[in-house]
Amino acid sequence: MGDERSVSGSGSGSNCETLDAVTRQEEDEEQQQQQQQQHQKEQQQLSIICGYSQHMQPLAADGGAGGAAKSSQLLSRADWGARMPKEVNYFDGPAPYVIIHHSYIPAACSTTPDCMLSMRQMQDFHQVDRGWNDIGYSFGIGGDGLIYTGRGFNVVGAHAPKYNDKSVGIVLIGDWRTELPPTIMLRAAQDLIAFGVAQGYIDPSYKLLGHRQVRDTECPGGRLYQEISTWPHFTQLNKTVEVQPVANKV
């Protein structure tokens, strides 16, 4: 009897352990399902905010600079850990202007974690310190060659007075007063513009401007400004502001 009870007890314990394992597995699966549903909900919110929903979406390589063999990659706001905007205001597209910026601060980043941190730092500065609705730019370009979604297409920005409701603002992270951004960053910026045109977010006859052309600033830095002045659609405005290099002016 003792042996029989022992065997029976052992079997009962084994059954309990099996049931516990099944229960844990079901709980894990339920938790994963909830996480997936939450992620889908966030992506739906982002699609409403930005006019599209994308996660590491490849951009067409044929629109890039230098005959890029590999297309640039577009990261969503969720990828870099953006907070939700306080408010979102839209404008009717396609945008007739593309305006190029440099961040000056944060400095240039070369790894994806550092570039993601730079995006969060810019959002903190704009949204918390300045009280804006969100990061000011439509998109950011990192030294890793990735494109980071800011406010996105057709969303009123906070990067160029009088042009915020009619432009796509692209910031190349770093200080580009005397140095040229790496080719991978320039290619990503051009790929993004080509993508915007192809998708109808940017007018095919858009005008490309540097930030200094629409306000008194050194941005996007002398060397980068010199570079974009050779790009297609660059437009020399009559009211271009000529500024002297100032170390702390962006």
User: What is the predicted pLDDT for the residue at 243?
Assistant: 37
- Does residue 61 sit in the same domain as residue 34? no
Q: What b-and-e string marks burial along 99-110, b requiring 16 or more CB atoms within 10 Å of the CB?
A: bbbbbbebebbe
Residue 189 and residue 121 share a domain: yes
pLDDT tens digits for 205-234?
999 999 999 999 999 999 999 999 999 999
Task: Give yes or no: residues 104 and 182 share one domain.
Answer: yes
Collapsed DSSP state (helix, strand, coil) of residue 57: strand
Per-residue model confidence (pLDDT) at position 34: 73
The pLDDT tens digits for 28-69 are 778 777 766 665 555 555 444 444 434 335 554 444 433 333
133 and 13 in a common domain: no
Whole-model pTM above 0.75?
no
For residue 239, pLDDT beyond 80: no
pLDDT value for 27 = 76
Find where tokens 């990503």 sit: 188
pLDDT at residue 38, rounded to an integer: 62
Q: Would 62 be classed as within a structural domain?
A: yes
Whether residues 86 and 9 share a domain: the answer is no
Task: Judge whether 151 and 170 are in contact, CB under 8 Å.
Answer: no
Cα torsion through 190, 193, 197, 200, rounded to 10: 150
Could you tell me the strand order of the sheet in which 146-149 lies? Answer: 57-58, 73-75, 146-149, 139-141, 167-172, 95-102, 202-210
| Size of the chain in residues | 250
Q: Contact, 143 vs 182, CB < 8 A? A: yes
**CA-based R_g, the chain, Å:** 24
Tell whether 126 and 190 lie within a shared domain.
Answer: yes
Please give the single-letter amino acid code of residue 243. Answer: V
Comparison of pLDDT for 157 and 23, the residue scoring more: 157
Question: How crowded is residue 68: how many other Cβ atoms within 10 Å of its Cβ?
Answer: 20
**pLDDT of res. 211:** 97
State the average pLDDT over residues 8-30: 63
Structural domain harbouring 44: 1-50
Top pLDDT among 1 and 107 is at 107
DSSP track, 117-158:
HHHHHHHIIIIIIS--SS-S-SEEE-TTSEEEESS-TTB--S
- Which pLDDT score is estimated for 40? 56
- Kindly state whether residue 76 falls inside one of the protein's structural domains: yes
pLDDT of 13 reads: 55
Q: pLDDT, tens digit, for every residue of 150-201? A: 999 999 999 999 999 999 999 999 999 999 999 999 999 999 999 999 999 9
Q: What is the pLDDT of residues 72-121, one digit of tens each?
A: 899 999 999 999 999 999 999 899 999 999 999 999 999 999 999 999 99
